[in-house]
Chain A
């Protein structure tokens, strides 16, 4: 029921906002998101992490029986943690918008709450059509947030965002429906959209069929991630979106794409993933390096962080298609930690923008002297984003790279390496992706150099903000502290998080046992079979 409450509460409060005076909108929204955080915390406590791979807190209700649809919600640990990330970012976005949003306040907060519901719905849905509906429904609030509250070029950005993602996901829907039909044709024409049941059938498809399914699903999810070369909507959308929009976009919405790949592409089409993983890997690596190089030449600081998201999410996809427990776990970890560090960066840029009304590093810079608190946080989050050991970015990035490196049953000299795992990528992918880390360090540090250190620059005609002090106020610091704490904790002690996601990740990876043709596999290939007794059976029964 907690999950239902998490979805319904923001929706109800959005309704309340519409029917209450304008001045109360932000308080209702704050209340709703803060209560959601409490509910999310209770859900985390109640969740039985010893059974992390199992769907818990199951809610099922009939919906459209004629089509075989059910309102079916449940969470495993990965879903729950992503939901926790979503609800944590909720109040940060709401409170962070107090001074930034001046017009149409009711619409703003109402759609922000609707967006939160839709995102939680995506992670919790266990019915394919419900998933798809929530996945698509995140478009409308975001479309409205960008179109109404964005900066100069907002309409083009919003339209591009909508059309890219909608086009991709319609094709993904065709893929989904094919899977559903395939399941129905196996099961005596009984149509169901239940995720668990569909996965088992999907893995029985011929490799060629799986290939098409993978293509269809990727066209939906790769756009959302976004993977090179369909990333072009993202920098525009990020740059034009209001701060809270960027935070949600980077923090959660992009993760819908990687979550989709993790939840659908990997378990539904294992043979095709094995076959095409090198191709996806190449696209990811190209994205990592190419977006990194674009970042290097940006003068617009928000666009820089936007492109850095493209680059970072490349690691995430790389980890996923490494298809071993290290890479996939690193990728899931990355989904969460990227939400903290990049979300925080967008928030900080928003705070700077509210004061200086420019995002150009030519016009503003050297803020270390006037805004020491802001600058300290900025350096901290940049370090988290660069992947400084001890902060969250490091753990997840290094895991993605390790997974990539080890895969191909990395043997070294003289046969199987005890630590070698299954996978189809290899050292070369890790090597080139690794250069992306170096590029990331360069552009982020150059940005920090210009923004924080150096001579103080301010745009012409700059004057102090009416409501905001020169440096951050208590409200803004309060927003940044939980994010900073998250970065630090996941960086210093990621073990609880990794333990929590281990079981579901291993379950997914188990589908790939034996699929990868590595000659030396017999010997020391201790991989991930420890987990699933019955799940491994499915994995092995399929080929």
Chain B
């Protein structure tokens, strides 16, 4: 127990911060209340450092995964914290400042908002630490449940409530599906512990065939988790929910549940192992086919639907569906003995790249709001966000910082060379081809091209157009943290390409505990040949 706890310091830190934030958010002093975001950010940073510091304590099926995943989560988490500041209670705080209203702890939601956020991040980190199905289920739900509330709280518009309800019910469905899958998996292997499942399945495979109940369970679990990563066939909610929620929360939805989902998928696949199939280097056929179809459809559906959108948030939502499809290619490819051939490492690296560039794009969206506050049906004031793509017309001219941030993030999401997105996608190509999944890589290539059709609008409108009336209606939000996030992300997609190699090595180390296909193992001397 104590050993297990030793690897959970990051989560413990976050939990303590959650408690503090909940109390601090209710302080009558405005100055104290405002520290909520700061505390969350510091806690996340501390959790990231602790995760790296306690790397040698890591336990679980893939101990190497823990420090990398938690550090990435913490880093993107800090960006998200900056983005989430000022989402709730804006007019209430203004009124208190002006003296027209007193502080009412019942109406103040800031503390809860950040507490929910930190809960979700705690759940995300716990996913990485999971060593049993039950833990995994609880961690996934701890990640998701707070996000339902956050969607509802994020905007006074009716759309946010609608989005939250939709998200909640579909989320509950997704949870039920993968819980059912977990139950079957337990039935087929006789254990909930991932390590024991791994042994059981290896034994079954050695005897000739894996228990069909276990396989069915795995496939059902994967379908359920498809909800978390917004993959086809569980992608329906994405556009409505992202559009209904405030952009900072949408940015969070695009990263947090997706990361949780991919960590879970990697852990489950690692438990089953990539050493089945005719050549002994694949997932069991039915799992591979499920993931294959899911990946191909997710890429195609996501990109084609994104292409048809005129709302930036819906476009980014569908593109986030498509990005899940790209990453599934890496999952199918499985681990390898070098970074270039390890699909798992490619996914882990892509999660970092995606987290940065997508958060940057959403940061720019959230940094633009209507000049005049409008009233909702319930009489609350709200500054609507720049959702229509025309709001970005000529952004580079009247707000070069935000405009160029958007341009760079969009180019990176497109996977344009010299950006982080390109270096994220390249290993998916190499790993996919190395695993012999050439048709899937071709689908990936074609989809990268389709993606150009809509991401290019996010490049062309800010750069080349003159701001029209629609664009004039939007001004920059007074919340400068969002501009900072945009700049940091845009800088990140350029600067991190210089640091790509150490980050890729880290991602490879993180994937190193995934069981290597037996057939592919080679003498150790050659394994490290390309690792320099």
A→B interface (CB under 8 Å): 62-68, 129, 132-133, 136-137, 140, 144, 147-148, 155, 158-159, 162-163, 166-167, 170-171, 173-174, 177-178, 180-181, 184-185, 188-192
Contacts and interface: CB of A to CB of B under 8 A. Distances in A.
Contacts of A163: 449, 452-453, 456
A132 B430 CA distance: 15
Interface string B8-25: 000000000000000000
Which 9 A-B pairs have CB atoms at the shortest separation, nearest pair first? A66-B504, A65-B532, A167-B449, A133-B417, A190-B529, A174-B445, A191-B530, A188-B526, A191-B340
A66 B339 contact: yes
B426 A170 contact: no
A192 B530 contact: yes
A147 B460 contact: yes
A67 B445 contact: no
A343 B434 CA distance: 43
A64 B504 contact: yes
Contact of A178 (B416, B438, B504): B438
A136 B411 CA distance: 12
Interface in B308-337: 337
Contact of B445 (A68, A147, A170, A189): A170
B203 interface: no
A129 B426 contact: yes
A190 B336 CA distance: 12
Interface in B484-532: 500-502, 504-505, 508, 522, 526-527, 529-532
Contact of A67 (B427, B444, B502): B427
B530 A177 contact: no
Most buried by B among A67, A136, A158, A167: A67
A189 B452 CA distance: 32
B433 A177 contact: yes
A96 to B, nearest CB: 23
5 contacts: A66-B340, A140-B411, A177-B441, A189-B529, A191-B530
A180 B430 contact: yes
B418 A137 contact: yes
B448 interface: yes
Nearest to A135: B417
Contacts of A136: 416-417
A67 B340 contact: yes
B445 A66 contact: no
A132 B532 CA distance: 23
B446 interface: yes
B91 interface: no
A535 B416 CA distance: 36
Given A159-B460, A173-B445, A184 B530 contact: yes
A483 B62 CA distance: 64
B442 interface: yes
Given A167-B449, A177-B433, A188-B522, A155 B460 contact: yes
B129 interface: no
A66 B341 contact: no
A144 B441 contact: no
A147 B530 contact: no
Given A178-B433, A181-B430, A189 B341 contact: yes
A66 B438 contact: no
Contact of A64 (B423, B445, B449, B508): B423
A63 B502 CA distance: 11
B242 interface: no
B464 interface: yes
B505 A66 contact: yes
Contacts of A173: 429, 445
A194 B48 CA distance: 37
Contacts of B418: 133, 137
A68 B340 contact: yes
Interface centre among B430, B446, B505, B522 (most CB of A within 10 A): B430
Interface string B396-433: 00000000000000010000111000110011011001
Nearest to B432: A177
Contacts of B501: 63-67
A192 B530 CA distance: 8
B338 interface: yes
A148 B464 contact: yes
Contact of A166 (B339, B452, B508): B452
Nearest to B436: A181
B463 A174 contact: no
B430 A66 contact: no
A68 B530 contact: yes
Contacts of B341: 184, 189, 191
A65 to B, nearest CB: 4
Given A155-B460, A171-B442, 4 more contacts: A66-B502, A144-B463, A167-B452, A191-B430
Contacts of A177: 426, 429-430, 433, 441
B500 A66 contact: yes
B243 to A, nearest CB: 25
Nearest to A175: B445
A189 B464 contact: no
Contacts of A66: 339-340, 500-502, 504-505, 508, 531-532
Interface string B198-234: 0000000000000000000000000000000000000
A177 B430 CA distance: 6
A162 B456 contact: yes
Contacts of A65: 501, 531-532
A262 B93 CA distance: 67
B330 to A, nearest CB: 14
Given A174-B442, A177-B426, A188-B522, A132 B452 contact: no
B528 to A, nearest CB: 10
Of A167, A174, A178, A180, most buried by chain B (CB within 10 Å of CB) is A174
A367 B446 CA distance: 49
Contacts of A144: 463-464
A170 B447 CA distance: 9
Contact of B464 (A63, A147, A167, A174): A147
A132 B339 contact: no
Contacts of B417: 132-133, 136-137
A129 B500 CA distance: 14
